[in-house]
């Protein structure tokens, strides 16, 4: 781990350079090591040979010197006069003869030992004693060797004195001193050092000569180990490695062993090769430098494209567009090309993802998320720089019907065409589709709102121009609500709500138009919310009540039934008209609960009335969409005991706008229970005769607009007659709503309407009043 960390180079080229330099260095070290080993081995072998040769030379020298001395001693020992002097113990003559010989031979010491150990020629008592002790060895035939004399090793050569029998020995002694060793060193071809050491009885070694220093411990150790054998070996001394040869010198028996030590330091042996070593080191360092330089350069050519790729990949990771130059045809070139392709693909995919995320799939217009971003951005710009942002909410007025009647594909196509047309007509105005038929436009501007008026008109015009889809020529209309930031809201939510409120207003105003948001709209909206809160309480608190408006049966000339109408007596605000709270109930879904209560209550009330009196209950399209309506009806009938045919469910055409199949099924189910079904507000909206064909309604209620029009528009009577005739033909009853005047009654009676409803007869009244009304047996004023 640590090692890996150590070699965890940040750069590939450093790694390569270090790797190759390392390999080269290892190679060079191997070569140098091998060379050194060979050189060292050869030098050692050479030195060893030299040492052995020198040892042999020294042997020769020793022998030569021995024989020279022996010859001289022998000469003296055989001299008749000398022998006579020795035999007659003529001390003076003997000493003068020895002195004469010492001078002639250049000897340090010469003396005589007789067979009894008597010494002549030495002055020092210690030397005399040592010389006397020699007689035993000499008597045993030893005539040469190393022996101590006066604290120093001497080479001793003796010759017997025969006079004529053995009477003693002439002994010559030479010191084994530095002088002789230097002479030996000079003889050698290599600069070796020679010294003679003596072994003490306790195993320690001393220089044989007072001038020779005591050997250092390594040498002592070597001598102790090697003094028996004349084999060259290594000494690892304080001055480095040496090769040494210990040559035992022939000692006089009993005398301490002495060795000649020839030494040659390896340092000196290797010194001739020093220039070679330096040359190799220089070549190695120079080569290493070259390798590093070459690797560095080569690595650069390899790693530069990789570094570029690395940098480009980093940029790509940061979300930037990145590409690298393709400079070669090799793997790196292909890698770079592939990288560029991948990079381009990623950018392309990002664009597509962004497009999907921020575009509406159907129309390719910006979607809600995009719109949120854009509006947010514009709002912030306005906040910083001033000016205005206009938000236009547009809604197609009749899209649902088109979708239902012509099918979704047509509806989708319509939306696409409108979207593209908006794009064409409005130029660079930001247009988004929020969903369904809901479009928004955002425009930043300064100055007055004239440009926005113009924009709204252009947008409406773009929608209104006929659109041909297949064989249909569709004429759409749209409503637009406009809200201006920052006046109508300085954040998205507020501004959007304001625009939507304005849109409601525009729709209320009759569609196909646009409205600017006004503060009052907001107040209305708040009121509406308050209403919603209160409405949730109303049912539980018994604030809801049913009023009943009689339906007068013209041919029977009596009240044939009542339409139950919901009233809300708000504890604070008093009576609230249905037109205000029913939409709220529908939006919030409260209509389901409320509607169920209405059915229950109406049935309960109707059960109290005579058998011929029916009760009509309005059922919202929301109730049809939710499950359980048939159950509610059945429950109400069972609870109240009301005969089913006395209950009349009033529906509007709007229930067919959604899920007409299931709606029809539900209608048939209700009809199966025996309940009557009436089609309310007939003739308004998208009244289609196909409805009449699809379900056999029991009654058609002619919309009040036609009844009102009877007074003013000449054609109205014809329409009413047509409806009544149509209903007759289909076996359906008719009820005319909103009859307020006798003239209307006259026409309706003449045309054959089954019943009438309206203020002319009675306004909606509470249940007790309705019951009284039945008892009073009121007649129509006209009658």
Partner 1 sequence: MSCARIWTATLLCAWSAAALPAPAYAADLDVQVRGADGAPVRDAVVSVHLAARATPHPHAGGSYVIDQQDIQFHPFVAAVPVGASVTFMNHDPVRHHVYSFSPAKKFELKLASKQQNQSVLFDKPGIVPLGCNIHDRMIAYLDVVDTPWAKTADANGHVVLRDIPAGAITITVWHPYLRAPGNIVSRGAILSEGTAHGEKFAVPMRTPPHDPGTGY
Closer residue to partner 1, CB minimum distance, 142 or 636 = 142
Side-chain half-sphere CA neighbours of 613 within 13 A: 23
Stretch that binds partner 1, among 81-89, 453-461, 466-474, 748-756 (CB under 8 A): 81-89
Closer residue to partner 1, CB minimum distance, 73 or 324 = 73
Stretch that binds partner 1, among 161-169, 210-218, 418-426, 468-476 (CB under 8 A): 161-169
The reply on whether position 547 binds partner 1 by CB under 8 A is: no
Gap between the Cα atoms of 296 and 290, Å rounded:
10
Gap between the Cα atoms of 466 and 26, Å rounded:
90
Gap between the Cα atoms of 625 and 617, Å rounded:
17
Gap between the Cα atoms of 310 and 675, Å rounded:
80
Q: Tokens for 422?
A: 């908006």
Gap between the Cα atoms of 763 and 776, Å rounded:
16
Closer residue to partner 1, CB minimum distance, 142 or 535 = 142
Gap between the Cα atoms of 28 and 24, Å rounded:
6
Residues 6+ apart with CB under 8 A from 261: 194, 195, 196, 197, 215, 219, 223, 244, 245, 246, 247
- Residue choice 3, 4, 10, 80 for contact with partner 1 (CB under 8 A): 80
Q: How far is the CB of 164 from partner 1 (least distance, A)?
A: 2
How would you classify the pairing of strands 119-120 and 144-148? unpaired
Gap between the Cα atoms of 645 and 676, Å rounded:
6
Residues in region 166-225 near partner 1 by CB under 8 A: 166
Cα distance between the two ends of the chain: 113
Gap between the Cα atoms of 253 and 480, Å rounded:
141
Q: How far is the CB of 100 from partner 1 (least distance, A)?
A: 20
Q: 493-509 as b/e, with b when 16 or more CB fall inside 10 Å?
A: eebbbbbbbbbbbbbee
Closer residue to partner 1, CB minimum distance, 142 or 592 = 142
The reply on whether position 165 binds partner 1 by CB under 8 A is: yes
Residues in region 365-394 near partner 1 by CB under 8 A: none
Closer residue to partner 1, CB minimum distance, 1 or 165 = 165
Give the x/- contact pattern for partner 1 in 112-141, rule: CB under 8 A: ---------------------------x-x
Nearest Cα to Cα of residue 609 among 773, 439, 365 = 773
Side-chain half-sphere CA neighbours of 325 within 13 A: 4
Residues in region 139-158 near partner 1 by CB under 8 A: 139, 141
Q: How far is the CB of 132 from partner 1 (least distance, A)?
A: 16
Closer residue to partner 1, CB minimum distance, 134 or 506 = 134
Closer residue to partner 1, CB minimum distance, 81 or 628 = 81
Stretch that binds partner 1, among 77-85, 408-416, 590-598, 723-731 (CB under 8 A): 77-85
Stretch that binds partner 1, among 164-172, 360-368, 398-406, 534-542 (CB under 8 A): 164-172
Gap between the Cα atoms of 238 and 217, Å rounded:
9
- Residue choice 18, 87, 401, 716 for contact with partner 1 (CB under 8 A): 87
- Residue choice 11, 88, 239, 541 for contact with partner 1 (CB under 8 A): 88
Q: Note whether 246 and 259 are within 8 A (CB).
A: yes
Q: How far is the CB of 79 from partner 1 (least distance, A)?
A: 10
Gap between the Cα atoms of 647 and 650, Å rounded:
10
Closer residue to partner 1, CB minimum distance, 83 or 704 = 83
Nearest Cα to Cα of residue 725 among 708, 750, 691, 742 = 750
Gap between the Cα atoms of 110 and 97, Å rounded:
10
Residues in region 635-694 near partner 1 by CB under 8 A: none
Q: How far is the CB of 162 from partner 1 (least distance, A)?
A: 7
Side-chain half-sphere CA neighbours of 219 within 13 A: 28
Closer residue to partner 1, CB minimum distance, 118 or 522 = 118
Residues in region 622-641 near partner 1 by CB under 8 A: none
Closer residue to partner 1, CB minimum distance, 54 or 167 = 167
Q: How far is the CB of 167 from partner 1 (least distance, A)?
A: 8
Gap between the Cα atoms of 111 and 630, Å rounded:
161
Closer residue to partner 1, CB minimum distance, 116 or 540 = 116
The reply on whether position 78 binds partner 1 by CB under 8 A is: yes
Q: What phi and psi values does residue 258 have, to the nearest 5 degrees?
A: -130, 145
H-helix segments, 589-676: 590-608, 621-625, 629-640, 660-673
Q: Tokens for 214?
A: 């005591």
- Residue choice 44, 70, 83, 155 for contact with partner 1 (CB under 8 A): 83
Residues in region 707-726 near partner 1 by CB under 8 A: none
Residues 6+ apart with CB under 8 A from 278: none
Q: Note whether 588 and 749 are within 8 A (CB).
A: no
- Residue choice 37, 45, 75, 84 for contact with partner 1 (CB under 8 A): 84
- Residue choice 129, 162, 381, 718 for contact with partner 1 (CB under 8 A): 162
**Interface size with partner 1, residues (CB under 8 A):** 13
Q: What phi and psi values does residue 754 have, to the nearest 5 degrees?
A: -70, -45
Stretch that binds partner 1, among 78-86, 188-196, 263-271, 739-747 (CB under 8 A): 78-86
Closer residue to partner 1, CB minimum distance, 117 or 284 = 117
Q: How far is the CB of 245 from partner 1 (least distance, A)?
A: 36
Q: How far is the CB of 119 from partner 1 (least distance, A)?
A: 18
Gap between the Cα atoms of 381 and 486, Å rounded:
11
Q: How far is the CB of 147 from partner 1 (least distance, A)?
A: 22
Closer residue to partner 1, CB minimum distance, 85 or 375 = 85
The reply on whether position 18 binds partner 1 by CB under 8 A is: no
Q: Could you write out the DSSP letters of every residue in 463-529? A: HHS-EEETTEEE---EEEEEEEETTT-SSHHHHHHHHHHHHHHHHHTTSS-EEE--HHHHHHHHHHH
Q: How far is the CB of 122 from partner 1 (least distance, A)?
A: 23
The reply on whether position 71 binds partner 1 by CB under 8 A is: no
- Residue choice 21, 122, 163, 194 for contact with partner 1 (CB under 8 A): 163
Q: How far is the CB of 82 from partner 1 (least distance, A)?
A: 11
658 three-class SS: coil
The reply on whether position 164 binds partner 1 by CB under 8 A is: yes
- The rounded Cα 267 to chain-centroid distance in angstroms is 64
Residues in region 427-486 near partner 1 by CB under 8 A: none
Residues in region 483-512 near partner 1 by CB under 8 A: none
Stretch that binds partner 1, among 75-83, 171-179, 265-273, 768-776 (CB under 8 A): 75-83
Q: How far is the CB of 163 from partner 1 (least distance, A)?
A: 5
Closer residue to partner 1, CB minimum distance, 87 or 347 = 87
Q: How far is the CB of 86 from partner 1 (least distance, A)?
A: 8
Q: How far is the CB of 250 from partner 1 (least distance, A)?
A: 20
Q: What number of other Cβ atoms are within 10 A of residue 207's Cβ?
A: 19
Q: How far is the CB of 77 from partner 1 (least distance, A)?
A: 10
Q: Which residues bind partner 1 (CB under 8 A)?
A: 78, 80, 83-84, 87-88, 139, 141, 162-166
């Amino acid at each position: 781990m640590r090692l890996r960390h150590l070699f965890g180079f940040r750069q590939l080229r450093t790694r390569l350079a270090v790797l190759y330099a390392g390999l080269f260095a290892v190679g060079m070290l191997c070569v140098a090591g091998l060379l050194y080993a060979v050189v060292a081995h050869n030098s050692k072998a050479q030195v060893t040979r030299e040492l052995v040769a020198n040892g042999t030379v020294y042997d020769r020298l020793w022998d030569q010197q021995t024989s020279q001395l022996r010859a001289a001693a022998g000469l003296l020992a055989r001299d008749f006069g000398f022998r006579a002097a020795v035999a007659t113990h003529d001390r003076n003559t003997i000493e003068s003869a020895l002195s004469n010989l010492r001078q002639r031979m250049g000897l340090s010491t010469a003396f005589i030992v007789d067979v009894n150990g008597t010494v002549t020629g030495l002055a020092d008592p210690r030397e005399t004693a040592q010389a006397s002790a020699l007689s035993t060895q000499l008597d045993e035939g030893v005539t040469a060797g190393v022996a101590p004399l006066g604290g120093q090793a001497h080479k001793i050569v003796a010759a017997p004195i025969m006079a004529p029998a053995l009477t003693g020995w002439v002994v010559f002694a030479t010191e084994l001193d530095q002088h002789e060793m230097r002479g030996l060193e000079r003889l050698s071809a290599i600069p070796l050092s020679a010294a003679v050491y003596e072994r003490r009885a306790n195993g320690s070694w001393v220089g044989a000569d007072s001038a020779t220093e005591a050997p250092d411990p390594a040498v002592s150790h070597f001598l102790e180990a090697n003094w028996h054998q004349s084999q060259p070996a290594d000494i690892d001394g304080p001055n480095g490695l040496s090769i040494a040869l210990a040559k035992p010198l022939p000692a006089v028996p009993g005398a301490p062993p002495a060795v000649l030590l020839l030494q040659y330091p390896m340092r000196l042996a290797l010194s001739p090769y020093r220039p070679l070593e330096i040359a190799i080191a220089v070549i190695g360092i120079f080569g290493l430098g070259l390798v590093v330089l070459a690797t560095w350069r080569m690595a650069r050519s390899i790693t530069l494209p990789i570094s570029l790729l690395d940098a480009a990949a980093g940029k790509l990771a940061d979300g930037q567009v990145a590409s690298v130059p393709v400079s070669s045809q090799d793997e790196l070139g292909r890698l770079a090309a592939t990288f560029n392709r991948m990079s381009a693909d990623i950018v392309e995919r990002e664009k597509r993802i962004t497009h999907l995320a921020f575009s509406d799939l159907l129309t390719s217009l910006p979607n809600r998320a995009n719109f949120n971003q854009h509006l947010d951005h514009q709002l912030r710009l306005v906040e910083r720089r001033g000016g205005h942002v206009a938000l236009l909410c547009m809604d197609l007025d009749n899209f649902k019907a088109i979708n239902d009647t012509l099918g979704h594909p047509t509806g989708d196509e319509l939306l696409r065409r409108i979207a593209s047309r908006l794009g064409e007509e409005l130029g660079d105005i930001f247009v988004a589709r929020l969903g369904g038929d809901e479009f928004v436009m955002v425009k930043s501007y300064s100055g007055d709102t004239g440009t926005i008026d113009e924009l709204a008109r252009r947008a409406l015009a773009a929608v209104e121009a006929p659109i041909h889809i297949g064989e249909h020529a569709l004429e759409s209309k749209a409503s637009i609500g406009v809200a201006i930031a920052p006046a109508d809201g300085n954040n998205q939510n507020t501004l959007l709500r304001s625009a939507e409120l304005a849109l409601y207003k525009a729709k209320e105003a009759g569609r196909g138009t646009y409205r600017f948001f006004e503060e009052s709209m907001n107040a209305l909206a708040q009121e509406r919310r308050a209403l919603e809160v209160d409405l949730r309480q109303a049912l539980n608190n018994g604030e809801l009540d049913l009023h009943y408006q009689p339906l007068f049966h013209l041919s029977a000339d009596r009240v044939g039934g009542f339409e139950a109408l919901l009233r809300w007596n708000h504890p604070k605000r008093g009576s609230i008209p249905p037109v205000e709270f029913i939409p709220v109930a529908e939006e919030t879904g409260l209509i389901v609960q409320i509607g169920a209560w209405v059915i229950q209550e109406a049935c309960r009330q109707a059960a109290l009335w005579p058998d011929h009196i029916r009760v009509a209950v309005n059922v919202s399209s929301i109730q049809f969409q939710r499950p359980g309506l048939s159950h509610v009806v059945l429950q109400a009938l069972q609870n109240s005991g009301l005969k089913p045919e006395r209950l009349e469910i009033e529906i509007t055409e709007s229930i067919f706008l959604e899920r007409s199949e299931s709606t029809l099924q539900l209608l048939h189910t209700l009809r199966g229970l025996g309940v009557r079904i009436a089609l309310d507000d007939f003739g308004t909206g998208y009244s289609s005769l196909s409805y009449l064909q699809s379900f056999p309604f029991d009654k058609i209620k002619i919309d009040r607009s036609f009844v009102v029009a009877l007074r003013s528009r000449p054609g109205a009577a014809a329409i009413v007659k047509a409806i009544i005739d149509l209903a007759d033909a289909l076996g359906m009853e008719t009820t005319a709503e909103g009859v307020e005047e006798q003239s209307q009654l006259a026409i309706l009676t003449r045309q054959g309407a089954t019943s009438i409803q309206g203020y002319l007869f009675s306004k909606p009244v509470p249940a007790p009043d309705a019951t009284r009304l039945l008892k009073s047996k009121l007649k129509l004023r006209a009658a």
